[in-house]
Copies of this chain bind each other. A is one copy, B any other.
Amino acid sequence: MKKQTKVIELLTATPVLTEVTVKGWVRTFRNNQFIALNDGSTINNIQCVVDFENTPEETLKRITTGAAVSLTGTLAESKGAGQKVEVQVSKIEILGDSDAEKYPMQPKKHSLEFLRENAHLRVRTNAFGAIMRVRSTLSFAVHQYFQERGFFYVNTPIITGSDAEGAGEMFKVTALPFDNTPRTEEGKINYKEDFFGKETNLTVSGQLEAETYAMALGQVYTFGPTFRAENSNTSRHLAEFWMIEPEVAFNELADNMDLAEDFIKYVIKYTVDKHEDDLKFLEQRLLDEEKNKPQAERSEMSLLEKLNFVLENNFKRVTYTEAIDILRNSKPNKNKKFQYLIEEWGADLQSEHERFLVEKHFKCPVILYDYPAKIKAFYMRLNDNTEPGKETVRAMDILFPGIGEIVGGSQREERHDVLVEKMKALGIDEEELWWYLDTRRFGTAVHSGFGLGFERLVLFVTGMTNIRDVIPFPRTPQNAEF
């Protein structure tokens, strides 16, 4: 006999009256008779029926919400409604008690804020169990998508000595003490005495390193943690989050868009196919949550409708210039409802503009591309033949309803002279990026890539609205508990 059988297996097994052992945690115990047992393998519980007349009172009392138990019995067809099979328990072993008075995860509705404060226990709830199973499968789908297509996974460094990318504020990594910090003769901090012999930070992106690998292995991707020391206390920002960054030699911007769209659809489809029960639960959760909102703020589609909509429709591809025209002539711009009014070409798009385009105008995921060079990073490929003063780069951002920017990418500037000129203009140290420039010195080629913020994808797929609820232990300003 197997030491134990998983709930997910039992629920789909034919009840042939064999003896089984199931181990898990009590979700509820009704009428001194019906244990709803969960072991994390699925959102569904298995009903275990206790022969209460022949079970010591002492044992029955210990079957409380949260208790760990091992139950042995016969898998049989269920007489009750709501489940096909049940375990008719012949042996109960209490593995670990859970004091009903003290256990924080009672079978009732807890606020998301309370659950965040109990991030070590919230995964024992239906909602967070579902979210974290979905997150896990999305991660695997990412790897499978790339590996099946001949991409190689690259672990770019987390601690980095180069801070030239300029994607955001960085955390310092150091082994130097704050007291009696070693100093140079000029009185500056002497980083030569630090662990790495130089100033180091937590990475904001693995892109530049990934590019060096793409120029050798052809197609690569990263999937690792990245960091921002920005004091953004919003529902869309984390100080520590996971990012996926593919980089492909010989890909132009259009190939990059094709890759991103195909990739996103693949990982969503893969996950929808595997997590019907989890997603149905999350769909209902969202419906319940939105009941308290005014009609206008509720989602037009249910969660699964929204996911299927993304799978079935092409992302709308729009140039920045077209988007500016649409925005300039839009009602909220004319009625001065935008906080930042769009007046002329070159303006940076704010979240309100992106949301208007995606949620009101196009009502589908949008790929914006060919942005003004001035508002984008130094490594993006300058378009040929643009008007002076209206230079654009081969950048693309993918905007999702409810989420905003989920992907940022570009064709990279492959021309050594153009790249150096751009770096000079922006005051980026050529010497520090000698290795990056080497890729343009030796065998340079057109190449493109993008970054996808993994938690934003998990938000979209789970229908959650706060990014702190889709990563196990969120790191945000003033919070590094656990």
Q: Is the CB of B480 within 8 A of A196?
A: yes
Contact A472 B161, CB 8 Å, known A178-B181, A197-B479, A249-B23: no
Q: Which of the residues B39, B70, B98, B209 comes within 8 Å of A442, measured between beta carbons?
A: B98
Q: Is the CB of A213 within 8 A of B175?
A: no
Q: Does A216 contact B (CB under 8 A)?
A: yes
Q: Encode contact with B along A100-128: 1 for CB under 8 Å, 0 otherwise.
A: 00111100000000000001110110000
Contact A473 B209, CB 8 Å, known A136-B154, A140-B147, A444-B68: yes
Cα separation A400 to B273 with both chains bound (whole Å) = 40
Q: Is the CB of A173 within 8 A of B175?
A: no
Q: Which of the residues B120, B139, B218, B439 comes within 8 Å of A438, measured between beta carbons?
A: B120
Contact A209 B120, CB 8 Å, known A25-B216, A171-B173: yes
Q: Is the CB of B150 within 8 A of A41?
A: yes
Closest to A212 in B: B120
Q: Which of the residues B67, B99, B120 comes within 8 Å of A439, measured between beta carbons?
A: B120
- Chain B residues within an 8 Å CB radius of A129: 216-217
- Chain B residues within an 8 Å CB radius of A3: 250, 255
Closest to A21 in B: B250
Q: Is the CB of B40 within 8 A of A196?
A: no
- Chain B residues within an 8 Å CB radius of A173: 171-173, 202
- A contact residues vs B (CB 8 Å cutoff): 3-4, 6, 8, 23-26, 39-41, 66-68, 70, 95-99, 102-105, 119-121, 123-124, 129, 132-133, 135-137, 139-140, 143-144, 147, 150, 152-162, 169, 171-176, 178-179, 181, 189, 195-198, 200, 202, 209, 212-213, 215-219, 224-225, 227, 229, 231, 239-240, 242, 249-250, 255, 414, 435-436, 438-446, 471-473, 475, 477-482
